[in-house]
């Protein structure tokens, strides 16, 4: 007996176009490569470096002020409250101990007894008196008497130490609050860097801008190339740092950052990108770190903003879209187009190859003609014939006759 068996439906994936099938492996490879890239500096400027196995931790305590300032806010506030609480408790215990040793706690109701501190009848009241003394509140209910020399000494010690604690902790909090790190949040860098032609030369460019109306004073820009290298002796240097000239010699690295500026690095013989082409750049594992420094106009403190560009974020053959327009009586900056780029005609070869091709086009005609003939492997006699075409008619005929005679002699010798 035959049974009808339902065969499972076979689903076939849709067939992609040929161009899409060819581009898919390249796109997947680029995605995998982008995932493997490890940044040295994040886009927001944070350094992606962690210090491990630091055994000499005592060095952090030698500069305790900077250590407290560098702590996170939750730890800073916890230490702030803890220090004041501990000092109040310590001196409160000392005031209670003096009252206990002198017997003031046994003569609380005795009006004939002169205590060290009036109206101090326990540890709680001693703790409150310690707070009033250190914070100089002075409610007037509890007061030290002149019959207690040890209490007078303790009052002096607590006043001095309290002033030191106040100066240290309040100073730490003030520096923590006034740090210009948040000012760097309004200093923006373009998402991508570009490489294109400018004034007949290949240039690497990126854009910086300031979102605030209060400007950065004495602003300057620097750039570093982060790339591992191996020396001629075989030494491997991880994350080697190389300076990228962004106008140090000409003063273009000092900025008047009122509107967004395009920072340009000319790729010349001293540039680390001199021999890098578009195809070579796509395979390189490098990172460009840019550093913008200046003083905050409102506070006068130094501010630093950082960002970085990996090789996949360097677009070859693009330029930045202009963002500055002239309005009625003022200039307007359109930050919606700050990160926009557009494609432009740019050679895909390296700057070195481009310079070589440019130099060859500028050579004299006679040199280029002779080199062309030598590359084609023509006999020397024919090269001389080509050169004599530019001479007068009578001289050309005589040289042609001599050349024919030489060729006939050569042929007769070869037959013999």
Q: Of 93-97, 133-137, 254-258, 368-372, which range is least confident? A: 368-372
| pLDDT for the residue numbered 5 | 41
Q: Which residue has the tokens 């004073």?
A: 217
Strand ranges (DSSP E) for 45-96? none
Rounded CA-CA distance 86/134 in Å is 12
Cα angle 257, 260, 261; round to 5: 80
405 or 62, higher pLDDT: 62
Rounded CA-CA distance 292/283 in Å is 28
What band does 299 get if pLDDT is binned at 50, 70 and 90? Answer: confident
| pLDDT for the residue numbered 79 | 93
DSSP 8-state secondary structure symbol assigned to residue 4: -
Q: Of 106-110, 124-128, 246-250, which range is least confident? A: 106-110
Q: Where are the alpha helices (DSSP H) in 278-344?
A: 278-283
218 or 58, higher pLDDT: 218
b/e sequence 65-100, b meaning 16+ C-beta within 10 Å: eeebbeeeeeebeeebeeebeebbeebbebbbebbe
Q: How far apart are the first and last CA of the chain?
A: 100
Tokens of 222: 């620097």
Nearest CA among 299, 301, 36, 41 for reference residue 189:
41
Q: In this structure, are residues 396 and 404 in contact, taking their beta carbons and an 8 Å threshold?
A: no
Q: Which residue has the tokens 């008047």?
A: 256
- With a CB cutoff of 8 Å and minimum separation 6, the contacts of 47 are 40, 41, 306
| pLDDT for the residue numbered 28 | 53
Please check the confidence at residue 208 and state whether its pLDDT lies above 90.
yes
Nearest CA among 72, 59, 83, 78 for reference residue 167:
83
Q: Which helix (H) or strand (E) holds 121?
A: none
pTM confidence score: 0.67
Cα angle 132, 133, 139; round to 5: 40
Rounded CA-CA distance 242/222 in Å is 11
pLDDT tens readout for residues 344-356: 999 999 999 999 9
Tokens of 80: 């702030």
| pLDDT for the residue numbered 36 | 61
Residue 398, Cα to own-chain centre: how many angstroms? 73
DSSP 8-state secondary structure symbol assigned to residue 41: B
Please check the confidence at residue 37 and state whether its pLDDT lies above 80.
no
| pLDDT for the residue numbered 113 | 87
DSSP string, 155-211: HHHHHHHHHHHHHHHHHHHHHHHT-TTGGGGGEEE-S-EEEEEETTEEEEEEEEEE-
Strand ranges (DSSP E) for 200-253? 201-210, 216-230, 236-243
Helix (H, G, I), strand (E, B) or coil at 226: strand
Neighbours of 140 (CB within 10 A): 7
Q: In this structure, are residues 264 and 250 in contact, taking their beta carbons and an 8 Å threshold?
A: no
Q: Which residue has the tokens 């796509």?
A: 282
């Amino acid at each position: 007996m035959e049974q009808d068996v339902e065969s499972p439906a076979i689903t076939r994936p849709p067939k992609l176009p040929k161009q899409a099938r060819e581009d898919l492996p390249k796109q997947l490879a680029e995605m995998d490569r982008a995932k493997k890239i490890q940044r040295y500096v994040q886009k927001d400027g944070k350094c992606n470096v962690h210090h491990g196995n630091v055994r000499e931790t005592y060095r952090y305590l030698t500069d305790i002020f900077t250590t407290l300032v560098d702590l996170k806010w939750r730890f800073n506030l916890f230490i702030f409250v803890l220090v004041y609480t501990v000092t109040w408790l310590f001196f409160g215990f000392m005031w209670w101990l003096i009252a206990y040793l002198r017997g003031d706690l046994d003569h609380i109701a005795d009006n004939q007894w002169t205590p060290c501190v009036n109206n101090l009848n326990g540890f709680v009241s001693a703790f409150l008196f310690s707070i009033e003394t250190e914070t100089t509140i002075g409610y007037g209910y509890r007061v030290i008497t002149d019959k207690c020399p040890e209490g007078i000494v303790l009052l002096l010690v607590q006043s001095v130490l309290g002033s030191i604690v106040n100066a240290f902790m309040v100073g730490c909090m003030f520096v923590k609050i006034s740090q210009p790190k948040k000012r760097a949040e309004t200093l923006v860098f373009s998402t991508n860097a570009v490489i294109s032609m400018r004034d007949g030369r290949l240039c690497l460019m990126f854009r910086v801008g300031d979102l605030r109306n209060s400007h950065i004073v004495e602003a300057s820009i620097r750039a570093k190339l982060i790339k591992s290298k191996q020396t001629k002796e075989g030494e491997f240097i991880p994350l080697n740092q190389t300076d990228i000239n962004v106008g140090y010699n000409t003063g273009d690295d000092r900025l008047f950052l009122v509107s967004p500026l395009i920072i340009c690095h000319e790729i010349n013989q001293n540039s680390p990108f001199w021999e890098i082409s578009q195809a070579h750049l796509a395979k390189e594992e490098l990172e460009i770190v840019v550093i913008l420094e200046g003083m905050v106009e409102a506070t006068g403190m130094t501010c630093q903003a950082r960002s970085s560009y990996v090789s996949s974020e360097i677009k070859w053959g693009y330029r930045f879209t202009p963002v500055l327009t002239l309005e009625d009586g003022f200039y307007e900056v359109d930050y919606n187009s700050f990160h926009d780029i557009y494609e432009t005609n740019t050679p895909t070869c390296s700057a070195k190859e481009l310079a070589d091709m440019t130099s060859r086009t500028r050579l004299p005609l006679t040199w280029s003609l002779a080199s062309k003939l030598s590359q084609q492997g023509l006999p020397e006699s024919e090269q001389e014939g080509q050169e004599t075409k530019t001479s007068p008619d009578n001289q050309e005929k005589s040289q042609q006759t001599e050349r024919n005679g030489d060729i006939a002699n050569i042929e007769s010798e070869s037959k013999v």
